[in-house]
Structure formats: structure tokens, C-alpha cells
Structure 1
């Protein structure tokens, strides 16, 4: 998401959620074998800014990243995502490769993943060693506009109970290193190995955030705020709150839905902060359990409510989220579209469900990769 950094001159509650942008990461695969394959020409073009305005390099030459522009409507989000995926596909074609929009590859892994050149990536390997070299996962990040850091932190502190259900709706990584992991989002478990991943404890305000960040910088685990791997974080370079919890969505509709839910949630939670409503009290142990359950079960099983401390049907958890967002989504003219997208998702299942279904039907992991490639390409037309 690109911006000149201008902060809107308006009240906090009016400016929150006015803009939204989405970043997506993709694996590159050979069109015949569908194996993960380096794209040196695509990566070089992305690094030089010559692969299109939406396309950026990633830590490995077997990956590409896209970022939409600053959007103010779901129609703009959809159009930019479609254009970004088309640009990334054209960049991949420089090496004769295709995009695989899933958070993990059905059988390949970091063992065959060359690192991208560039000072930032070299510094990441120097800092995190094997953790950086084994980052064979892709994600979907949503930026929502906020006017200042205090607002970002006020919303961040209130997002913690909602992370699990948002995660459950986006799973696309059931396989890793050639094994069915039994999870819908193995990426979540793999990502959690980083010492600065997950959800931070409530920060209170901008100064609280700065104190925590300063401690992490002093520890050597991060260089600055751009390296925080929290599920939700204030952007280090944009006037946004960035949600980083989701698997990359194979289906374009699911990416639009995730962006819509995240933006609405930010607006709702910001309004609660303005009204002085307290930050929900959630034990970190319970939140980790809820996050694990969402990664394991997706929307087909039962999720753990970290506030009520009980298991709930995933569909009921989704319905409860929609109920909290209904007034906001209706006011924004997005309710009908979001409801239709939710019903479609629940009816067909997440990407992880459909990948596993393909595997069980065919016993062929190449068929799984083929389905992901074709389903993702459908969103570009």
C-alpha cells in the first residue's frame, strides 16, 4: 500500500478506516511440474521497480509480493487485487513461471528456496539465521488507515479476541514439506516460531508501544518497527494499522472479504475506544489456545472463545463477528456484499478444505497445486 505519508486533518473517529490496502504474497512454480521454482528475472525486475506498480520482491526468489494502492471501497479493493495479481503473473512469466496463491506449497519447502539478493534480506538472515532461511510461507496483510499512533494502539489492544475467527476464515496452508499437517493454517504454527510473532499484550497508548519496541530493539530481535511480526501492528512507514494474521487467500473473493471484515472491525473498535469502553481482558495463554484452535480447525470445526472460555461452533463464531459489525457494514453500504461472501465461503470451505479434498480424492499432490494455480488465476479475469 503506497502513500506519500500525509496524515488526514480530521478527527480520529472520522478518519479511521477511510482507506484500506492489501498485500499478498505468492509462490512461483514451474508450469509443468508445478514445483516451487526460482524466478530470478521476476525478482530482479521487482527489486528494480520494473515489474509494475503493484509488484515487489520477497525474501526468496521463489516468491513475489503485491500491494494494492490506497482504496476507499470494496470495488476498488477488488479491482486493485485483480490488477496486482495480473501484474505478478506477468512478472512470473518473465521466467516462464506461474503464481501459486497458497500460504504453503503442497510438497516443496525452504530446502529448494534461494534467498533474494538485497541488503534488507541479507540483514534478516544475519539477524534470524535459520528462521529467516526457512520462511517458506506466504501471507495476506491488510492496512487500514488511522490518523495517529495512539488510535492505532487503542484499536490494536482491542483486536486480540478477534484474531482467531479472522484467521479461521483464511486458511490455505494444510500441507508443509510434503506432509498433510492436519491444520488449515500451518503457516500460523510455522510463523509462531519467531520470538516476536503473535499478539502483544495490551500496550495502552503510543508511549507504551514505543517502550515495548525499544526493548525489542535493545534485545536485538528486531531492528525497528518494520520487523515486528505481530498479528496486528502499527505500520512503521504508513499511517495505518496492519493486520498480518491471514494466510494468503487463494480465491479473490476471500481476500476481498478479509479486507472488508478487517476494515469494519477497525472502525468498530476505534469507536469503542472513543467512547471509553475498556480493553477486553484476555489471558495470553487463552489467546494462544484460541489462535491454535483456529489454525487447526478453520471454519469447519469448533473454535475457542478466549473471552467466554468455551468452545463454539465456528459458524456461530463467524455469525457473532458479523453481528458486531452489522451496523458499521450497513452504514458503509457493504453489508449485503459481505454477507454474500461469507455464505459463499462457508458453503464451499476455505482453500485448505478444498486443497485437502482434492488430495483425498486424487492422492496426487500435483493435482492440489494445479487446483490452487487455476483457482487463483480465475480471479485475474
Structure 2
């Protein structure tokens, strides 16, 4: 059974006002006092962000439980210094991001200017184990059309600098400002993938391989493929669903590769349009169907994803759970819909943040 690990970026906020607080160094110092937590939490680009990483799990119920535990620990450490954590992919309230100290972050600030100062955006990255780089690249080539559907399920960033962005995931639009971000063409082999990465680093436009921000990439640190399209999800069960579907996509793609089936080859231009549509619509309107690249109701496209990975879900024992989670998400809405409904009900972005803090831990 393939193992899965999740990295989540959380927003540090004032528990009273909901405004982001640049307190990550203090939270990390507190967490470092606990030997069990030293490898769980990490610093990110901005001081208003805190990242955690789960241990790899083969059982999705255990992975979900670990996501919940890590969120609870993040909340505990933040609470110890007067902060709270919120699983929000952008801050609903206006914020001036504080770039972290260190040579790497300062190089990025000097190189990219305002782009770095706008990147207070928070994602969910899913690592799925693969047997080799060759299998990993075969997976990358074959999951490309389905990534916007994963992104649509996760959308959780409708607000930007105190205003409604009119997007379900404005985080993804901000993230696309990095020169190495976004969908990729077919690679065909691990050798071609690594050559492309080396050529990109050799231009000097990016600092190193860690700045390869493909929508899905080979991990530098682990024997995994890393999915990077999802917003951090408001609810932990949505994050677990994204991880479950990512593993099923990997298993489905690997099986197709072993059977000698060629990957579909929509152009990067069409994949960018599909990603834009997912960011704009989320689950509330239409998405581009991966098979036709034409607009269809979001529910129809999500059901197509479930059908595409159905055999893999059955093999892992996740079929019923995934279908139930999708049905609940379609019925009750993801983070973007919840945030907008909270604002409509309360009239206050501060109250939106306060409620999202509660849901992050709940």
C-alpha cells in the first residue's frame, strides 16, 4: 500500500481581532522544547505562517487522525504565546506580510520584489510514495488533467486584503506569479524530467531545485510525488479526502503506465485554463472536464474523478469513505463557500476568522 504524508501551512492570527501575527519564530521556539515535535513544525517564507508535516501513513483514517493531532498541537503552541492558528489559504483581513530572515528568503525578496511580499498564501501539499523516479514521472505525466479537480475540491481562499476576490481560490492565482509554478508538458522519462529541472536552475532565475514549483513534482527529500495544487483546507476531513484522492490518482496512473497506456496530452494552455476555472468556480459552478476540456457542472466533473480512480479506491479500502466525503462536501460546501456564508451571516471578516479558528481545531 502506498504511503501518504501531508504538509499543511497554517495562518497565525490574533485570537481577538483575527488579524495575522508575525509570530512563527516564537511558536517554533516553543515547539522545539518538545522533542516529539521538533521534526513536525517548520518555518515558512512569511512570519505569519506555520507549517507542519505528518508522518507517512498507509491508512487514511490514521492520516486523518494525525492531521487533527498536528493541528491541535499547532494551536496549543500558538496559544502559549497568545496566538491562534487558522486553516485559511489567504487572510480575509488586510495584512502586510513579514518576510522571514535568512539568506534564502532575502535572496527571494531581492530577486522577485513585490511577488514575494504578496505570497502570504497557504497550501496543502500531499506526498504519495512511488517505487522509482521513472514511475514518479510516469505518474506526473498522467495525473495532469485531474489536478484542477483536486484544486476545486480544496478551494478555501475567497478573500484578499479585506475584499471578496470573486475567486474560490485566490491563493492559486497569487501562487502562479512564481516563474516556475503551474502545469507542465509531458516529460516522458525521469531523465527528461531531471534535465528540465537542471536547465531551469541553470538559468539563474530560480535559486535551486526547491524552487521547482510544478503543480506536481518529484520530491527532493522523499521517494514521493508531491501534489501542490490544493489550498490548505478549512476542515481536516477535506484535507484527508484530498490525500485519499491523490493516492488513488497515483495508483491509477502507475497502473496505466505498467499496462503501456499512453497519457492524455492536453496542452499546457488548456491546463492553465482548467486551473483558472477551478480557482474561479470551486464547487459552485462549472469546471473543465479532463476528458474533453469543455465546461460541465462541477458535480459531474468531480463524479468523473471518482469514477476514474474507482478501482484504486476499492483496492485501498477507501471507496465508501471517499464517496461519502465527496457527497458531504458537495452538499455542505468547502472552505470558500463556508467563508462567504459566514460573512453573509455575520457581516464581519473578523468573525469569519474567529469561526475558522474554531473549525481548524474542530
Task: State the TM-score, normalizing by the size of structure 2.
Answer: 0.95
The residue aligned with 1:143 is: 127
The residue aligned with 2:11 is: 27
- Within-5 A mapping of 1:40-189: 40-45=25-30, 52-109=38-95, 111=96, 113-189=97-173
Distance in 2 of aligned mates of 1:57 and 1:46: 12
Contact kept, 8 Å, 2:125 with 2:229, in 1: the verdict is yes
Structure 1: 5+ residue stretches without partners: 1-16
Q: Count the aligned residue pairs.
A: 360
Divergent runs of 4+, >3 A: 43-53
Structure 2: 5+ residue stretches without partners: none
How far 1:258 moved relative to its partner?
A: 0.4
How far 1:47 moved relative to its partner?
A: 7.7
Contact kept, 8 Å, 1:20 with 1:263, in 2: the verdict is yes
Q: 1:183 to 1:251 in 2, by over 3 A?
A: same
Pick one of 214, 228, 251 that aligns with 2:198.
214
Does residue 342 of the first structure (1) align with residue 310 of the second (2)?
Answer: no
**Offset from partner CA, 1:22-63 (integer Å, 9 cap, x none):** 000011011111110121411445689865442111111211
How far 1:306 moved relative to its partner?
A: 4.8
How far 1:294 moved relative to its partner?
A: 0.5
**Partner SS for 2:7:** strand
Distance in 2 of aligned mates of 1:357 and 1:227: 36
**Partner SS for 1:64:** strand
Distance in 1 of aligned mates of 2:103 and 2:345: 45
Distance in 2 of aligned mates of 1:235 and 1:208: 16
**Offset from partner CA, 1:146-170 (integer Å, 9 cap, x none):** 1211111110011110011111000
Distance in 1 of aligned mates of 2:70 and 2:216: 23
The residue aligned with 2:22 is: 38
How far 1:284 moved relative to its partner?
A: 1.6
**Partner SS for 1:38:** coil
**Partner SS for 2:273:** helix
- Within-5 A mapping of 1:151-300: 151-300=135-284
Q: Please report the RMSD computed on the Cα atoms of aligned residues, expressed in angstroms.
A: 1.6
How far 1:118 moved relative to its partner?
A: 3.0
Contact kept, 8 Å, 2:343 with 2:352, in 1: the verdict is yes
Distance in 2 of aligned mates of 1:46 and 1:154: 38
Distance in 1 of aligned mates of 2:267 and 2:32: 42
Contact kept, 8 Å, 1:264 with 1:328, in 2: the verdict is yes
